[in-house]
Amino acid sequence: METNFIFAVLNSAIRSTTPIMMAALGSSICNRAGVFNVALEGQMLIGSFTAIAVNWFTHSIFLSVICGILSGGVVASLVALLQVKYKAADMVIGTSINLLVGAFTAIMLYVLFGVKGSFKNPALLTLPKISLPVISSIPYISTLLRNFTILDYLSYVVAVIMFIYLFHTVHGYHLISVGVKSEAAESMGISSLSYRMGAVIVSGLLCGFGGVALSMGQVTLFTENMTAGRGFIGMAACNLGRNNPVMIIVASLFFGFCDAFATVAQNRIPSQITMSVPYIATVVALIVFHGERAKKVKAA
Amino acid sequence: MTMRHKISSLLKRLCQILWQPLIAVILGFLLGSVVIMISGESPSHVYTQMFQKSFFSFYYLLQTLTRAVPITICSMGIIVAWRAGYINLGVEGQMIVGGLVSTVIAIHTSAPAFLVLILAIAGGMAAGALYALFAAFIYQKCNVSIVISTLMMNYIANYIASYFVTFPLKDPKSGIAVQSVEIPVDVRIPRVFEGHTFNWGFFITILIVAAVYFVIGKTIFGYESKMTGLNPVFANYGGVKKNNVMMSAMAFSGALAACAGMLEIFGVKYRYIDAMFISTSYAWTGLMSGLISSLHPVGAFAASIFLSGLQVGGQAIQRTTNIPLQVSTLIQSTITLFVSVKLFTDFKHRKKQKVEAGDIINGN
């Protein structure tokens, strides 16, 4: 019974990891290309909203997932244009985009559905839950893997693909070179502008994916500002994973676990305290792991 | 002749400063009207309503000015930190911490009113400054990006404060409303007119703007922080101690944010209400007015009054039309988005510095 409970918590941890991990991967590709993208939060939120809106109007799971992902890309292209092409200050663009998307989704929520705050309806289609044929009959593993959607599995595939792209393809190598020293890359005939804009747009697609996983994964609903800082937690996870997709999986799982812990502990500790746990954990994790790295650098 | 010359050059300069924000404002209102049309209302009608109910009536004008108080002071806090190159996104959290601490002091200290007031101000500002300093400290010691840490600390402050007003500090008479007990009558900031929330806090705000203008323009700290913000390497070469600048800039910023929270509580609400600074998004509006004015204190003051008017107008039209309140946020963020293209023209000449400023943000 108790073991089963632990597996149930782990299950919930893995499911809440998905959105954070996608944001972290988006952050890492931007960092690798030398762009500091703060608009991850907005890129995610638009994905969550679009997925629910398309879901409601077309009744198609496939379309809502695709449109959710693309909408993240659309917002990211605005970021790419203003921040990378026209070299506007990153913090200004990032915070403006985040606030803009927050307001836009809230208005559209009212215009399209006539509600304020949040939209939930039983007629919304849910993503099918995947049960693997043989594994689902093993007692504890079945609890661990219960209710996973295709997005949860896909996120790990994306992380691995990104790892291969960054470290084992020429294109990825060029992208990293743009981030390390764009002048040197330019002298090799690599257009740093197009690599950077591309990286930002890909980060938008990834964040859109994360947003869809948020609004159509564990629950199927949209709430104003439902990302609640997950874009920034993703940035922290990327920081901890040192821009390496495989390490990012580990870092994101840590934050996903904190999220799950917060939900589980709500029965024993006042919810106001547990809700602050993921954010406290982020700060503490950054202090602990960065402290270690800072010391190592000094010793070397 | 010289007088005329002076005036014309002044006008020319004013046009130079203002034309780009003006275009941004027009774009903001254009996007706003698109959204208003989608909602099935006429933009001209909505905008007339909006401005009538924010600037052109005595009652609403006072509301606009009252709301501008925390927004202006938040933007002062943001200006002080951002000019030094430290991106403090945690003004909201510092505001909450400062406001809550000063409220607790005001409620639980039994002393003459003016002593309580001094204690509350000192305690609140110290709390806000310490909260900001923590982020600066972990940046310096453990290289934790200030952007992420300050932002996370907003959520932490809000939830912890929410815990306090839900349990130990809750006013037992307030029923389901989650709020603290009211602060004593004699420490409240007096109102200027009977029946309006407008209070003397507005004049304190003017003093604070003047003080920030003086500090960043005329003191060594202001000069050093400007240098650090523009070019940290050069500042270091010139003998500026980067750490001292960061610590003082962040502490100053946090203390100002705490002031904003305090004035709102002591002047308008008289108690800490759960999420009172989150739902009103004073800190983010302050950030936007700082950005619109390119981090200039007097410009930010004007921008804060303008944005505050947009919000008050937005609330008014939400009551009478189908337009949600967020239309004003939409207009505001579009303005900052396009004003930043103006920053681009400034930044183009300082591309190198910008790369280094980016390094600060990245925590490298």
Q: What percent of chain A has pLDDT over 70?
A: 96
What CA–CA distance (Å, rounded) separates B135 from B157? 13
Task: Count the Cβ atoms, other than its own, within 10 Å of residue A232.
Answer: 27
Alpha-carbon radius of gyration of chain A:
19
Please give the tally of structural domains in chain B: 1
What CA–CA distance (Å, rounded) separates A152 from B287? 36
Question: Å from A19 to nearest chain B CA?
Answer: 17
**In sequence order, which residues have a C-beta less than 8 Å from that of residue A6 and are 6 or more positions away?**
none
Question: Å from A129 to nearest chain B CA?
Answer: 32
Q: Residues A250, A242: contact at Cβ < 8 Å?
A: no
How does residue B361 score in pLDDT terms, banded at 50, 70 and 90? very low
Q: What is the CATH number of the domain that holds B229?
A: 1.10.3470
Whether the per-residue pLDDT at A257 is higher than 50: the answer is yes
What mean pLDDT value characterizes chain A? 86
Task: Count the Cβ atoms, other than its own, within 10 Å of residue A285.
Answer: 19
Q: What percent of chain A has pLDDT over 90?
A: 32
Whether the per-residue pLDDT at B359 is higher than 70: the answer is no
CB pairs under 8 A between A and B: 158
Whether the per-residue pLDDT at A291 is higher than 80: the answer is no
Instruction: Tell me whether residue B352 is in a domain.
Output: no
What CA–CA distance (Å, rounded) separates B60 from B51? 9
What CA–CA distance (Å, rounded) separates B268 from B263? 8
Residues pairing with A118 in the sheet: A223
- The minimal CB distance from A107 to the residues B141, B287, B324 is found for B324
Strands A222-223 and A118-119, sheet pairing: antiparallel
Q: What percent of chain B has pLDDT over 70?
A: 93
pLDDT score for B206: 95
Total number of residues shown for chain A = 300
Question: Å from A88 to nearest chain B CA?
Answer: 5
Confidence (pTM): 0.86
**CB-hemisphere CA count at 13 Å for B156?**
20
Whether the per-residue pLDDT at B275 is higher than 70: the answer is yes
Question: Å from B327 to nearest chain A CA?
Answer: 7
Interface probe with B: pick from A38, A92, A275, most Cβ of B within 10 Å: A92
Instruction: Tell me whether residue B195 is in a domain.
Output: no
pLDDT by residue (tens digit) across A183-241? 888 888 888 888 999 999 999 999 999 999 999 888 888 988 888 889 988 988 888 88
Residue B92 belongs to domain spanning? 43-189+201-343
Instruction: Tell me whether residue B364 is in a domain.
Output: no
Instruction: Tell me whether residue B62 is in a domain.
Output: yes
Give the DSSP letter string of B52-86: HTTTSSHHHHHHHHHHHHHHHHHHHHHHHHHHTT-
Answer yes or no: do B362 and A91 touch at CB < 8 A: no
| CB < 8 Å to A88, chain B | 340-341, 343-344, 347
Q: Is A223 exposed, middle or buried (0-12, 13-18, 19+ CB in 10 A)?
A: buried
Q: Which residue has the higher pLDDT, A28 or A291?
A: A28
- The minimal CB distance from A104 to the residues B330, B358, B363 is found for B330
Whether ipTM tops 0.90, in short, is no
Q: Residues B169, B104: contact at Cβ < 8 Å?
A: yes
Instruction: Tell me whether residue B5 is in a domain.
Output: no
Whether the per-residue pLDDT at A181 is higher than 90: the answer is no
Answer yes or no: do A279 and B340 touch at CB < 8 A: no
Answer yes or no: do B329 and A103 touch at CB < 8 A: yes
Residue A97 belongs to domain spanning? 2-299
Q: What is the CATH number of the domain that holds A84?
A: 1.10.3470
Mean per-residue pLDDT for A280-284? 91
- Whole-number Cα distances in Å, B320 to A18, A192, B313, B315, B317: 42, 51, 11, 9, 5
pLDDT score for B326: 84
- Whole-number Cα distances in Å, B258 to A66, A170, B38, B132: 44, 51, 40, 10
- The minimal CB distance from A272 to the residues B147, B166, B361 is found for B166
Please give the tally of structural domains in chain A: 1
What CA–CA distance (Å, rounded) separates B26 from B79? 25
How does residue B208 score in pLDDT terms, banded at 50, 70 and 90? very high
Q: Residues B261, B90: contact at Cβ < 8 Å?
A: no
Q: Residues B60, B305: contact at Cβ < 8 Å?
A: no
pLDDT score for A300: 38
How does residue B1 score in pLDDT terms, banded at 50, 70 and 90? low
Mean per-residue pLDDT for A144-161? 87
What mean pLDDT value characterizes chain B? 85
Among the ranges given (B147-156, B182-191, B300-309), the one the predictor scored with the smallest mean pLDDT: B182-191
Beta strands in chain A (DSSP E): 118-119, 222-223
- The minimal CB distance from B347 to the residues A89, A270, A273 is found for A89
